[in-house]
Chain A
């Protein structure tokens, strides 16, 4: 069974773009969530191999969701890439403090996203 990737974003436009790119150019199955709370729930249920997560979202933001995931035994080691329009150094630093592994700024460069995700997929395969 192909590994799963969880994409978390409250922007329908971003979900459409990321879902298309990852379905066409990686071997991940794609699971979607629209806020941090749903992301934590879905991550626990689906056990994804990788999570792409926005920062500013309703109900629970990406940083809080990242912290919550790192508290969960099942999700502690799942790589999390923050994908956000907030590229200021303070935000990036906070992201890493919350436990994310990588940081991508919007607007997304399709090639950069595909390469980064496939890099994590290669690590997953090598395990």
Chain B
């Protein structure tokens, strides 16, 4: 299923591009801040790599908002900047009992089935509104871990939870999500919801 289209058809039927430009401008301004921080940090510092990934992600996301390719770009960021090629972008139904797949890559039939079967409980987890890096040893993470989820990024528009980005297995070279990844997931949490559901 395709992601929601961007742009609000007005009375004239034309697409109002102003919200798109405004959101893209915000994201690109953020990207400029990340670049500034990156250039002020020595390359051998761990933060340098984090800043440079945040810069690339936000710059790419800003362009994606203008080009209406946000869902594809989220999957690309997941693969290239997070090392995960098993990702689903979900939309919550208004009754919070069902979910739909807006876009996905590499998600197995087993994982897909698990998400659909446990949609109501998963919706409740998404409604907590917190970026989660899942650790099955941590109390409260058992349910998400049982679905094979390694990270959960809630997507909201205004105060309403609209969906989530769900990450499954990481590539073999990644041992797990780290603190830098958490910042990147946070960036996605802030901007992807309004990009997919608010325009």
CB within 8 Å of B: which residues of A? 11-14, 16-17, 20-21, 24-25, 85, 87-88, 105-111, 114-115
Rank and list the top 7 A-B pairs by shortest CB-CB distance, nearest first: A17-B56, A13-B60, A87-B173, A110-B49, A110-B52, A111-B43, A16-B56
Give the contact stretch, choosing among B9-17, B79-87, B158-166, B191-199: B79-87
Whether the Cβ atoms of A20 and B55 lie closer than 8 Å is yes
Whether the Cβ atoms of B172 and A87 lie closer than 8 Å is yes
List chain A residues, Cβ under 8 A from B73: 12-13
Whether the Cβ atoms of B172 and A13 lie closer than 8 Å is no
Contacts between the two chains (Cβ within 8 Å), count:
69
Add 20 more A-B contacts to A16-B55, A107-B81 (CB < 8 A). A11-B76, A13-B60, A13-B73, A13-B80, A16-B56, A16-B59, A17-B53, A20-B52, A21-B52, A25-B43, A87-B171, A88-B172, A107-B53, A107-B80, A108-B49, A109-B49, A110-B48, A110-B52, A111-B44, A114-B43
CB closest chain-A residue, reference B51: A110
Whether the Cβ atoms of B80 and A106 lie closer than 8 Å is yes
- Nearest CB of chain A from residue B179's CB, rounded to whole Å: 14
A11 to B59, CA, bound (A): 13
CB within 8 Å of A: which residues of B? 35, 38-39, 43-45, 48-49, 52-53, 55-57, 59-60, 63, 73, 76-77, 79-83, 85, 171-174
Whether the Cβ atoms of A85 and B43 lie closer than 8 Å is no
Whether the Cβ atoms of B80 and A14 lie closer than 8 Å is yes
- Nearest CB of chain A from residue B177's CB, rounded to whole Å: 11
- Nearest CB of chain A from residue B105's CB, rounded to whole Å: 12
Contact of B56 among A20, A87, A88, A111 (CB under 8 A): A20
A14 to B59, CA, bound (A): 11
Most B Cβ at <10 Å: residue of A12, A85, A107, A111: A107
List chain A residues, Cβ under 8 A from B174: 107
- Nearest CB of chain B from residue A103's CB, rounded to whole Å: 11
A85 to B87, CA, bound (A): 15
Whether the Cβ atoms of B83 and A85 lie closer than 8 Å is yes
- Nearest CB of chain A from residue B188's CB, rounded to whole Å: 12
Whether the Cβ atoms of B79 and A17 lie closer than 8 Å is no
A115 to B48, CA, bound (A): 13
- Nearest CB of chain A from residue B50's CB, rounded to whole Å: 9
Whether the Cβ atoms of B56 and A14 lie closer than 8 Å is yes
Q: What are 18 pairs between A and B in contact, CB < 8 Å? A: A11-B80, A12-B63, A13-B56, A13-B76, A16-B55, A16-B59, A17-B56, A20-B35, A21-B52, A24-B39, A25-B43, A87-B172, A106-B79, A107-B53, A108-B49, A110-B43, A110-B53, A114-B43
